[in-house]
Amino acid sequence: MALDLPENIVLSKLDTLASWCRKNSLWPMPFATACCGIELMATGASKHDLARFGAEVFRFSPRQCDLMIVAGRVVMKMLPVLQRIWQQMHEPKWCISMGACASTGGVFDTYSVVQGIDRFIPVDMYVPGCPPRPEQLIQAIIDLQDKIQREGTVDGREFSLASRQQTIRALVELPIQSQWDSARNPMM
Ligand code: SF4
């Protein structure tokens, strides 16, 4: 049935409207630990101008962010910090894994480096490269925006789909210093 709408009236679904708002106001939480972080900084600088895509408001408080960008290798010691920041970010939230190291451990095939952050937190977009160029990160943000618009719901039903429910390992807590000392010296 055709509707005779008055001028300047647009009909849409609430899901579509919420997704449109969310995708155009992504606030990144930078988790830059190595060389990829330099490319992340370049992405936010004037030459590449991330503001064109509404995602330039980098915040260093997880409670104000909804897009985690992990740029660089993550060592096991740093993992609890990464997971805690991720947990402190409010839903809905998304994650981009930037570069070979964050996605797979890269050339650091060793016990001390996390062999892919998706073993511990959910990842929405992977950016290949060592390091990826800013244009690649921008493309990942655009792809993520398309995904948010396509799948997003106002109450976050897309986050409870089976395909998004990966088995994520629990928070890794480091032993506190006194435990280390007593392990080395049982007399302590
Ligand atoms: S992917 Fe390459 S550029 Fe990025 S952190 Fe690893 S070694 Fe550095």
pTM of the predicted model as reported, rounded to 2 decimal places: 0.84
H/E stretch holding 16 reads helix 14-23
pLDDT at 112: 93
What is the reported pLDDT for 7? 84
Bridge partner residues of 127 (DSSP): 98
Give 93's Cβ-side CA count (13 Å radius): 20
Question: For position 144, what pLDDT does the model report?
Answer: 96
For ligand 1, atom 6: residue with the closest CA: 101
72 within ligand 1 shell (Cβ under 6 A): yes
CB 120 within 8 A of CB 79: yes
Name residue 124's amino acid. Answer: D
Domains and CATH numbers, the chain: 14-169 (3.40.50.12280)
Report the run of H or E that residue 150 belongs to, with start and end. helix 134-151
Confidence grade of residue 137 (pLDDT, cut at 50, 70, 90): very high
Average pLDDT, the chain: 87
Which is more confidently placed, 150 or 187?
150
Band (164; pLDDT cuts 50, 70, 90): low
The reported pLDDT for the residue numbered 167 is: 54
Largest CA-CA distance found in the chain, in angstroms, rounded: 85
- For ligand 1, atom 7, which residue shows the shortest CA distance? 130
Ligand 1 pocket, 70 CB below 6 A?
no
pLDDT for residue 36: 96
What does the pLDDT look like over 70-128, one tens digit per residue? Answer: 999 999 999 999 999 999 998 899 999 999 999 999 999 999 999 999 989 999 999 99
CA-angle at 78, arms to 187 and 139, nearest 5°: 170
Q: How many CA atoms lie within 13 A of 143 on its CB side?
A: 12
Per DSSP, the chain holds a count of helices (H) and strands (E) of: 6, 4
